[in-house]
Structure 1
């Protein structure tokens, strides 16, 4: 396991890990709701770090980071900027998954000169009232104090034997990760929910995302329907959309090598 490091910022002491090396800009990863830096799939990370430096971290109040969970997505974006400042990084590539995808959009809008290329996985812009709605059970299952295997497979993978098998394989890979940071606490979970609810979204600002954007999702995402990825790709001026078959919210771990290759190709273009 890569060494856990800490850096002080005005918004708290942030925990992070750095892997890989390369001549290009570092790639910063923004994690999902209720996820920590150690919930990234090792099968996805391995090909990513083969050609570049990759930084994963816990936002304020999450995992091994200090501080408190910000009250809005904009506040979470401020933590990302504080991390860049503390690490002396003037410009990076940025990948956000799920909640991290929302946060990444806020970061790119807040400091566009510091984000060269943006990857938004399994996310949306907020403020999308038309199109398919999330599965009616999502809110109930997300609110469970602990999400067991059945909950996780429902939320993150498609309702098929193939996708569920991929989900179980992902959970096995995570279970083998040593020296994990602490799980997200109950208060932090509630804080994230409040921050999401307090943020109206950035759909009306997508046209301002001038950097190249790669948007991707699984076609059967129960939580954030793939239509919302389409909205980003159709309204941001320089965006490309990829949809993966027979997959859901965690398509990037079901198709880990394929999506990592797409990300690498996009960042190297």
Structure 2
């Protein structure tokens, strides 16, 4: 048995406006403002590290979900970031949420920005982890090796280690520990994003024009964080966003990469909790 609350959380379902059904989990300290979390490219609600969710849930209610057409959720798989934003808002409204904080990791960080821009009346704080505003000038692109691994039909453990963690002894050990924690859910669920949805996500990322020219509209408090050695979305994007966001705090982990939030789960969760409580 896992000691993590996230691993024991029940999978629930809510009907969306188009007859779709959203799968989600809702757990943690109820009664306050919930934190709605948006997942990365090719990720599902089973791909959140429970060691990261645990300290978040100790201080607030946490909601993880599969967007339309992803894993356990039904409906048409999104083909653009805007589709994902619309799907997220449909889910949020289906739960009747009117006062939330939002977090997004990687592709989910782009979606979370779109949600905050589209619904400023209900989003109070925004956390953007390992992501970008999209359209950032002079942002270094991923390497050919990284692009090749991202495009694989199935990623093995060594692929995730390359994409998410630097090739140091400490980071590799942290990455392996995170993958082991994820297995508590994944060994039974075998959760994956299907081939059609993956193609849609790749197309969405490739066609996304970005929110770079709308950063000034994000007047709410924003926490932007990354690992300094991110091979998927260069950490320059985090710095660049700090130059345009009106009320931002930036955190960079010098020994980490794209998976910094799973490499330093307690520390980053503490930073999020303090940020959301301000």
TM-score (norm 2): 0.94
Mapping of residues 154-193 of structure 1, within 5 Å: 154-177=162-185, 179-180=188-189, 182-193=191-202
Shift of 1:208: 0.2
Distance 1:265-1:193 versus aligned 2 partners, 3 A rule: same
Mapping of residues 119-198 of structure 1, within 5 Å: 119-177=127-185, 179-180=188-189, 182-198=191-207
Q: Distance in 2 between matches of 1:5 and 1:181?
A: 18
Superposed CA deviations along residues 24-77 of structure 1, whole A, max 9, x for unmatched, are 200000000000011100100110101111000001111100012222111101
Distance 1:171-1:164 versus aligned 2 partners, 3 A rule: same
Query: Aligned residue for 1:216?
Result: 225
Q: Distance in 2 between matches of 1:128 and 1:85?
A: 31
Match of 1:118 among 106, 123, 126: 126
Match of 1:20 among 20, 28, 34: 28
User: How many pairs were matched up?
Assistant: 269
Q: Distance in 2 between matches of 1:233 and 1:14?
A: 33
Over 6 Å off, 4+ runs: none
Mapping of residues 1-269 of structure 1, within 5 Å: 1-11=8-18, 12-177=20-185, 179-180=188-189, 182-269=191-278
Q: Distance in 2 between matches of 1:261 and 1:181?
A: 30
Q: Distance in 2 between matches of 1:241 and 1:192?
A: 27
Shift of 1:177: 2.4
- Which segments of 5 or more consecutive residues in structure 2 lack a partner in the other structure? 1-7
Please give the root-mean-square deviation of Cα atoms over the aligned residues, in Å.
1.2
- Which segments of 5 or more consecutive residues in structure 1 lack a partner in the other structure? none
